[in-house]
A and B are shown apart, each in its own frame.
Chain A
């Protein structure tokens, strides 16, 4: 059973997909960790760079120099003047102004101890090991994995866990860094004030990247920091502001801020005021959650794809065919995604906003649009008009079925009749609407002229709220009847002649044959025509747009026309999008109902197979 030949055969048929799956997981884990580590590393770099810049600023203060810098840096670093013309020996240097000779302050920071998140590493390494072991194991046990879903769920959970752990780790690290930076900034400020610097200088000394020194009750002057952050600082209660250090949540990030109260230089004017210095720590104190989530999701998707291909890998032919099929599908699928599903989802997005075409601001309003529409009587009147209009479908189907039965056969006259009946269906709706508008004109319309000949008074076909919609329905029947007739004829031709012969021998008359053979035989055709016609009827637009423009008195204001006006006349795209989705829901519900009520039981459907 497990002889060497057997095993060799299994090995030959293998593709390296299990290994790829393991690699995908490992890559995902590594990427998650790298994203987190990169965020922390960047923050460290910037903290060190900031320290260097602050030290350089202190260096420039009158009467300070090396002592102030050393004090600021807490004697953690060696400070030395570097030679002119070259960078200092340290990792970070700063050119300390126009001193002569040019002096470089070189700061050699403490070597950053690489703190690797043990909590995330252990499960990650464990997972990689497990996956590798699994992949190796599979090499000797050929049956394809029977539970790719289970594996994928477990791996997804593992990846998510790692991502969360990495985010948490980055979060803590960044908080520490930020807090340290804030305390440095405070040190810098106090040193600057002790050496008699002006508040502006103190701010410059302490203020990078974001700090300002000004009266906090004038937030418009807090120009060096983001507006939202300044707003958040001024919104703090005064006692908290006096407390010294605090954190602010703004712009989706955590800012560590510190306060120092600087005595102003005493003078006559202006009167002495206390200025507050608000020092901000890092902008990037938010853990890299979004990139981490993206990495995890991408890995899970890739993994699922691999696990989908995995069972096929034992059958390279099938695998090849599957890949070929997908590559053939890819162009169409891409177009579909870009131009069908993309806009679809975008319209859903729009429908959740107040989206005016002219106003660039699109505030998010949640379901407000939907609520407004559902409470809007004109919208419901449009829906009602649409529903009434849709009643033309069963009428048209009855006429079409009768015509289909009458125009069977291939005699010349019948073929011409069929063509004549079908023509409206392939004519432009606009052309039809224009001609009918003219035919049905109250005064000079041909129809009213003809009716007048036989003594029937002028009928207000399109100008009375009572008759406008029925008129449109009549025209619509005339338009769709030819198409439906052709479909019915195809359906009739598909009913075996033998059924009719058998029924005749059994003694069934024409009506019984229609009832027991024709109708059941046309069942699916009838259903198809009904559903497509109802959907088409719910989307009626051209007739209304050209003939009545929704009038008179909104009597023909149907849903799509209503949506059109909402979007292109009132420019309320949010509302229009929401209406479209409500209409979609209505049509969907109607179609679903059709399926439930008419499509019958499963075995009955199979009986036709």
Chain B
């Protein structure tokens, strides 16, 4: 069955449920062997997109291509894609071995072949001692590995993960995340991974597709997504604490101003949003862009989060080194790293970076 990793390509794919548009005209290319993460808030259509790839849903418009073949009329089982479900969807009446071998069995593989392949996968995932157990007798992490193994055993060209980590506790989630990354390095298979957790997305994905309301807003490497968000939603969704925002308006002189800021240059719109990441605010710089009162200080060990009574009506947060001495109630001078600040236009698209105050 081995054909190696497959590319996945969505071309203008749309999915409607009645009047509801779940996925709106998505174009997405996943290269062979790539680990692509789909991330977005609940209800953004990322799971539906994955189910469209798997063939569990039929696209209302557009085409799904897997490995250079249009699979719109190919049933899920023949798409060379395997899926890991959030609930794991293990069959409770079957043993671990039967669960692992189910995909092979329904394809009519021989008993010996099934045993060999199941044995191999079980060894890789450390399930060898659990083969005769039933899912009800396994821990959450073990079930997760069985679900993974069920996908692996068929050696598919594409792996589809539908939030496979969300049912695990925090520690196990981190470990499993590393395991999946290691698995991807080892198998080299194309993987599409759906999650609502932006940290998971950035840490795991080679490329990340950020979705909102059925649309893919930005596709890029984690660094691109974080450093150069093309959209205000992306900028706000990625990163924690969230990016600081300030609404600017054009004054009579044609400049965009807001709070203590006045941007250099002429911009072609009346309103805009200035966005600065918390780490791009400095509290100990020689010059200050504005003065603010410290509301609260979160000491996290490796860093401090300083909540500021910032400009405008928004509360601002600065991420500063733990060595800086700052306490609630202090008045402090804040400087902005203007070269890393973003300006988003009224439609949310990024209009400029490397701003300059005037």
Contacts and interface: CB of A to CB of B under 8 A. Distances in A.
B135 interface: yes
A496 interface: yes
B89 interface: yes
B106 A506 contact: yes
Nearest to A607: B136
- Interface SS of chain A: helix
Nearest to B83: A505
B91 A508 contact: no
Contact of A505 (B77, B91, B107): B77
A237 B102 CA distance: 90
Interface string B103-127: 1001100000000000000000000
A608 B137 contact: no
Contacts of B91: 499, 502, 516-517, 520
Interface in B39-59: 51, 54-56
B92 interface: yes
Nearest to A515: B106
A507 interface: yes
Contacts of A516: 91, 94, 102, 106
A609 B93 CA distance: 11
B92 A607 contact: yes
B77 A608 contact: no
Nearest to A519: B93
B313 interface: no
Contacts of B188: none
Contacts of B55: 504-505
Contacts of B107: 507
B11 interface: no
B333 interface: no
Contacts of B87: 496, 498
Interface string B77-103: 110011101110101111000000011
Contacts, number: 85
A504 B75 contact: yes
A607 B137 contact: yes
Given A498-B87, A502-B85, A607-B134, A507 B93 contact: no
Contacts of B78: 507
A506 B134 contact: no
Interface in B123-163: 134-137, 150, 154, 160
B134 A604 contact: yes
B77 A506 contact: yes
Interface residues of B, number: 30
Contact of B77 (A498, A507, A521, A603): A507
Interface in B204-230: none
B267 to A, nearest CB: 49
Nearest to B134: A607
A496 B135 CA distance: 15
Interface string A44-62: 0000000000000000000
Given A498-B89, A506-B103, A516-B91, A609 B136 contact: yes
Contacts of A499: 89, 91
A512 interface: yes
Contact of B56 (A505, A517, A604, A607): A505
Contacts of B54: 501, 505
A443 interface: no
B83 A502 contact: yes
Contacts of A604: 93, 134
A501 B85 contact: yes
B348 interface: no
B137 A603 contact: yes
A502 B89 contact: yes
B146 to A, nearest CB: 11
B191 to A, nearest CB: 15
A599 to B, nearest CB: 13
B14 to A, nearest CB: 21
Contacts of B32: none
B76 interface: yes
A498 B163 CA distance: 13
B317 to A, nearest CB: 39
Contact of B93 (A509, A512, A607): A607
A227 interface: no
B56 A504 contact: yes
Complex A-B, nearest 5 residue pairs according to Cβ-Cβ distance, in ascending order: A507-B77, A607-B136, A498-B89, A506-B103, A502-B89
Given A516-B94, A607-B135, 9 more contacts: A503-B102, A505-B56, A505-B81, A505-B82, A506-B103, A507-B106, A606-B134, A607-B93, A608-B92
9 contacts: A502-B91, A504-B76, A505-B82, A507-B107, A512-B106, A516-B91, A607-B136, A608-B93, A608-B136
